[in-house]
Structure 1
Amino acid sequence: MLNEFKTFIARGNVMDMAVGIIIGAAFTAIVTSLVDDLINPIISLFTGGMDFSGLGFRLGEGEGAATFAYGNFIMAVINFLIIAWVVFLLVKGVNRVKEMAEGPKEEEAPAEPEVTEKDILLEIRDALKAQN
């Protein structure tokens, strides 16, 4: 069982996945900082610094009553959309740089038409007619 575990861990796709998760966590920190520290302040200039996180209402009376905090949900959706847009732009930029580094793509030559048995027989017939 221990050998099976070693084989499983040593597989390339498991290691690739682990590296992807680690890089993803670091990338998340960068994107979060970009959105929180650079993009959200610019957006707040246009929205007058609106913060929906305080919106909600209490579901009952007293200290222990639950709060229906729909404002937090609105802020989470807005942050998600901003982060998704930033990630889209970053991936698009990385892909563009990658394409420029690879250089122009070579166009593939059109495939030769497939020669069938009928085509060969027609050529033989035409060649025999030409000899006569």
Structure 2
Amino acid sequence: MLKEFREFAMRGNVLELAIAVVLGAAFGKIVTALVENIIMPIVGIILGGVNFSALALTVGNAEVTYGIFIQAIIDFIIVAFAIFLFVKLINRFKRKEEVKEEAAAPVVDPQTELLTEIRDLLKKERV
């Protein structure tokens, strides 16, 4: 059973998934820091210094902090947009690499291609 578990854990897909989770968590920290420390203060300045997280409504003895919910929604939208821009940037670089690879492919002269086909046919007839 231990051997089977080791084989399962060492499969390529499981390792790739583990790496993706770790990198995703690290990237999430970077994006969160960007949102909390750079983007949200700018949004606060644009909106006149409004801090949504302080908004609350008191109902009886309970305090409903709906501002934290609004702040979480805004954070989510900003994080999603930042990730969208990041993925778009990566896709742009991938497309440029694909174009370079296609351009780097050797162009075969039609005459050379024809001669290659004739050579292959002659080899086939000999056998």
Regarding TM over 0.5, the answer is yes
Q: CA RMSD in A?
A: 1.6
Decide which structure has the larger Cα Rg and report it.
1
**Aligned twin of 1:25:** 25
Matched residue SS, 1:67: strand
What whole-Å deviation, never above 9, does each CA across 1:11-69 have from its counterpart, x for those lacking one?
111101100001001111111122122212221221011111111223433xxxx3211
Cα distance in 2, alignment partners of residues 29 and 55 from structure 1: 26
Q: After the TM superposition, list the runs of 4 or more consecutive aligned residues in structure 1 that deviate by more than 6 angstroms.
A: none
- Read off the aligned partner of 2:73 and give its amino acid letter: V
Relative to the length of structure 2, the TM-score reads: 0.73
Could you tell me the TM-score, scaled by structure 1's length?
0.70
How many residues matched? 102
Matched, 1:73 2:69: yes
For 2:65 and 2:40, the matched residues in 1 are separated by 21
Structure that is richer in helix per residue:
2
Q: Structure 1 vs Structure 2: percent identity of aligned residues?
A: 46
Gaps of 5+ in 1: 107-132
CA shift, 1:73, in A, is 0.3
